[in-house]
Amino acid sequence: MTEGTLTSWGLGDLGYTAALLVSELVTNAILHAHSGVVLTFRHSSDEVRIDVFDTSPLPPRVRHFRADAGTGRGVRLLDSLASSWGIARTVGGKIVWFTLSTGPQTATAAWEFDFDSVEPL
């Protein structure tokens, strides 16, 4: 979905990075907030902004795990790959957002996921 959206906007070269960051933030919402998420994609003349809303008020934080751990790298990925990122507290939780630099165009897309409809592995 993320790569497809960016490709439809002519920004396929950002698709992999955006998908990686979205995957990290959605996984964090499921694991830590036990929440569904709402994704919002915006594209302006100079950047793509992706918002990931969940129902927890707690912000993401740097975790310290062993190098071979399968978790704990989300904030570092945002720091390394996003042009900018931040947190916006909302009435029902928070939005963790990030931007990636682009060229000129404008578009918006949004999706909502219900955590309760996801079947356990």
The topology under which CATH files domain 2-114 is Heat Shock Protein 90 (3.30.565)
Question: What would the pLDDT profile of 63-77 be if each residue is shown by its tens digit?
Answer: 666 656 556 567 788
Q: Which one-letter amino acid corresponds to residue 2?
A: T
Percentage of the chain beyond pLDDT 70 is 74
Cα of first residue to Cα of last residue in the chain, in angstroms, is 21
Using a 10 angstrom Cβ sphere, with 0-12 exposed, 13-18 middle and 19 or more buried, the burial of residue 25 is: buried
Cα–Cα–Cα angle for 63, 111, 33, nearest 5°?
Answer: 30
Name the 3-class secondary structure at 114: coil
Whether the pLDDT of residue 38 is over 70: the answer is yes
Residue 24: enclosing H or E segment and its boundaries? helix 15-28
Alpha carbon 64 to its chain centroid, in Å, reads: 21
Domain residue spans of the chain: 2-114
